[in-house]
C-alpha cells in the first residue's frame, strides 16, 4: 500500500455484530475496506447477511465488535456526533414517522449540523438547500406535505435532505426498495451523477444487483463465507460474483454482466 494514498473510508480488522448480555453474535469479521473519495459503491448480499449491520457500524449507529473504522483518516470513535454529521449523511429504509412537515422543512433539516442553536437558516444554507432541490428535480414539491408524496417522490426528497447536509459521504440503505424500475433507474443515475460531478462517495446497499453491476465503481460483496471488496470489473473477471448467491437456480453470466436463471 502506498502510504501517501488517502482513503475516505478505511477499516482495519473490523468485526461487526451484536452483543447482548449473554452472548456476542458476530455477523462478519476481518473486514478490511479501503475506499477512495468519489466512488459509488454497491453493497450486495443476500437478505439477512448483514448489509444493514455493516452500514450501521460504519455510520456509528451501532458500535463495532472489534477493529477500527477511519473516516477521512480519523478514527470514528474520536469524531464527535456533530463533526460526523458534517462528513456523513444517511438515507434509511425505515418509514418516516407521521408528521405534517413540509418537504422544504424536511430538506432544510439536513442543514442542522451547520445551523445555530435555534436552527436559523443563513443565505448560504438556503443556497445549498436550493441546490439540493435542483439536483434531485424536486423543486415543485417544496410546499407539499411529506405525507402527500408518493414513494418515489419521498425517496428523492430524502436524498435531497442528505444532499442538503452536504457531506462528502452519503450512505443509503436500500433506497429503491419500494420503487418501480423507472424510479429505481432514476435514483441510481442521480447517485452516480453525484459521485462523478461532486466527487461524493456514495455507499448504497441494494438488491438491484444487475443495475448495480452496470453503475457502481466498486462492489462490496457479502457472502456467507467472506467479504470481498474491489473494482466492479475486477470482481466480475475473478468470478467473485458466483459466490453471492450459492443457489442452484441463479447463475452469473459474465458476458452479459448480469445474473440469469439457470436452465435445467
- Positions in the binding site for other proteins (CB under 8 A): 59, 61, 80-86, 88-90, 92, 94, 96-102, 104-106, 109-110, 112-113, 115, 117-119, 121, 126, 129-130, 142-143, 145, 147, 165
Write out the three cell numbers for 55: 452500514
Nearer to other proteins, 30 or 82 (CB): 82
Q: Residue 204 CB, nearest distance to other proteins (Å)?
A: 16
Residue closer to other proteins, measured from CB, 82 or 226: 82
SS3 222: strand
In the block, cell 442538503 appears at 164
CA-to-CA distance for 31 and 234, rounded, in angstroms? 19
- Residue (69 or 244) nearer to other proteins, CB: 69
The residue (of 4 and 123) whose beta carbon lies closer to other proteins is 123
235 in Cβ contact with 244 (< 8 Å): no
For residue 107, what are the contacts with CB-CB under 8 A and spacing of at least 6? 129, 132, 133, 142, 157, 160, 161, 164
- Least distance CB 178 / other proteins (angstroms): 17
Residue 43 CB, nearest distance to other proteins (Å)?
A: 17
Minimum CB separation from other proteins for residue 144, in Å?
12
Amino acid at each position: 500500500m502506498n502510504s501517501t494514498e488517502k482513503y475516505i473510508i478505511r477499516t482495519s480488522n473490523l468485526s461487526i455484530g451484536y452483543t447482548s448480555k449473554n452472548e456476542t453474535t458476530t455477523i462478519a469479521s476481518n473486514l478490511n475496506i479501503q475506499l477512495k473519495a468519489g466512488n459509488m459503491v454497491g453493497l450486495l448480499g443476500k437478505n439477512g447477511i448483514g448489509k444493514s449491520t455493516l452500514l450501521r457500524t460504519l455510520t456509528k449507529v451501532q458500535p463495532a465488535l472489534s477493529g477500527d473504522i477511519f473516516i477521512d483518516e480519523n478514527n470514528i470513535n474520536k469524531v464527535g456526533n456533530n463533526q460526523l454529521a458534517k462528513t456523513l449523511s444517511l438515507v434509511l429504509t425505515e418509514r418516516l414517522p407521521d408528521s405534517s412537515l413540509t418537504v422544504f422543512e424536511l430538506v432544510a433539516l439536513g442543514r442542522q449540523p451547520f445551523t445555530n442553536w435555534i436552527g436559523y437558516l443563513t443565505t448560504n444554507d438556503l443556497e445549498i438547500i436550493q441546490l439540493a432541490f435542483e439536483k434531485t428535480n424536486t423543486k415543485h414539491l417544496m410546499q407539499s406535505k411529506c405525507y402527500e408524496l408518493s414513494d418515489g417522490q419521498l425517496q428523492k426528497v430524502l436524498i435531497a435532505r442528505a444532499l442538503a447536509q452536504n457531506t462528502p459521504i452519503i450512505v443509503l440503505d436500500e433506497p429503491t426498495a419500494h420503487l418501480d424500475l423507472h424510479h429505481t433507474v432514476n435514483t441510481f443515475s442521480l447517485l452516480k451523477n453525484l459521485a462523478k460531478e461532486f466527487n461524493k462517495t456514495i455507499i448504497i446497499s441494494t438488491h438491484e444487483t444487475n443495475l448495480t453491476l452496470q453503475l457502481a465503481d466498486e462492489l462490496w460483496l457479502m457472502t456467507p463465507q467472506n467479504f470481498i471488496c474491489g473494482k466492479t470489473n475486477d470482481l466480475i473477471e475473478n468470478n467473485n460474483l458466483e459466490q453471492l448467491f450459492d443457489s442452484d437456480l441463479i447463475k452469473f453470466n459474465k458476458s452479459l454482466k448480469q445474473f440469469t436463471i439457470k436452465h435445467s
